[in-house]
A = this chain, B = another copy of it.
Amino acid sequence: MADSAPRRRSRASAGLPPITADKIIDAAVELTGERGLDGWSIRQIATRLDVWPGVIAHHVGDREAVVMGVTDRVISRIPVPGDDVPWRDWFRSVMSEGRTVLREYPGVARRLCVVGPNVPSALPTIDAGIRVLMKAGFGEQAPEVYRFLFNSAFALVAVEDDRGSFPTARADMGRAMAAFAEDDSRPGLAAAGTVARGRGTDPRDIAAQETEFFHFTLERSLDGAEAMLTSR
């Protein structure tokens, strides 16, 4: 098995460089890209680095610490737009690009939503986003509005990630809804069924539908925030 224990007698005696916390996180980020944040074990990281499982605890800490290291590294890859653009464009940009990065590392979006500003690499984005909202006239509500917009977008990415780990879920949902198209006794479900029926079901179609719904969510959330400005 590829996930079994290493064979070598000693790293030092074999002339190998010592393992570092950084190299452990590197391997964990790689595995997260392949299988998602819940798709690997401490033992698999150890096998990939050709060391015994206890070594990970020694250099990084428990599984939680490794996960936080991965999260911080992935978040740092999300580009922060310049703060000279209109606020709606700023959020559209950071969230679309953020989604692209996060979807490459399934499970990280969820973590980001949960721990938020506890991830050091998220701080520059939070600072810039709140500044942009203050400049747009949200005043002291800027932090709350930031959190709302941020959560709307990335909690949805977290759901998309989760759905990806139920291989059948996406297709099942579409098929289940489409079956209601002729249900006259339940007009709400019938309407949803009619919409579902008109849509493709192969993976490319589903990916396009997900992207479209993400942007729909984004625009509705921005509209919801904007209503705070116009109703003053």
Interface residues of A (CB under 8 A from B): 110, 113-118, 123, 126-132, 134, 140, 142-148, 151-152, 155-156, 158-159, 162-163, 166, 169, 172-173, 176-177, 186-189, 191-192, 195, 213, 216-217, 219-228
Contact = CB atoms under 8 A, between A and B. Distances in A.
A225 B217 contact: no
Given A156-B151, A188-B134, A163 B114 contact: yes
A218 to B, nearest CB: 10
Contacts of A113: 159, 162
16 contacts: A117-B173, A117-B177, A118-B169, A123-B189, A127-B189, A130-B189, A134-B188, A134-B191, A143-B191, A144-B195, A146-B192, A148-B217, A155-B156, A220-B228, A224-B224, A227-B227
Contact of A127 (B156, B158, B159, B188): B188
